[in-house]
Amino acid sequence: MKIWFFISIASMVLLTSACSSTFLVVKNGRSTFVGSDSQEKFDLLCASGDLEKVLADSHMEPAMKNTFYKYNCSTERSSDKVKQIFAAMTVDERRDIKSAFRKNGYEINKMFC
């Protein structure tokens, strides 16, 4: 009985640590959390030029677009800063950026997180 308790606790820890405070984007079988520090995120969003297209299709203020791009794709990349920006966004701004991702061929939050 104790073993199941520990398995349950370990599962919850793994699930919560795997999720991000931003959102998951998926395109062409590749996925990443916006705001992660992974090379996969950089390749999918930045090296491809997709984040620039997404931001162009969003209605974010120019200063927020620049900051969002800077902390995702420049040499000053910072997952903490991206998460702070996302946390400061209004519900409408979050819907807008997700809509812009969808417009550019991305699926959002396809997984359980």
CA–CA distance, 36 with 63 (Å, rounded to integer):
21
Per-domain residue ranges of the chain:
21-108
Query: Exposed, middle or buried by CB within 10 Å (0-12, 13-18, 19+), for 29?
Result: exposed
Which runs of consecutive H residues, i.e. helices, occur in the chain? 2-18, 39-41, 50-57, 62-73, 79-88, 91-103
Span 29-67, pLDDT tens digits: 999 999 898 999 999 999 999 999 999 999 999 999 999
pLDDT tens for each residue of 2-22: 565 445 454 444 444 444 468
Contact 32, 25 (CB under 8 A): yes
Q: How confident is the model at residue 98 (pLDDT cuts 50, 70, 90)?
A: very high
Quick check: 24 pLDDT over 50?
yes
Q: Can you give the pTM of this predicted structure?
A: 0.77
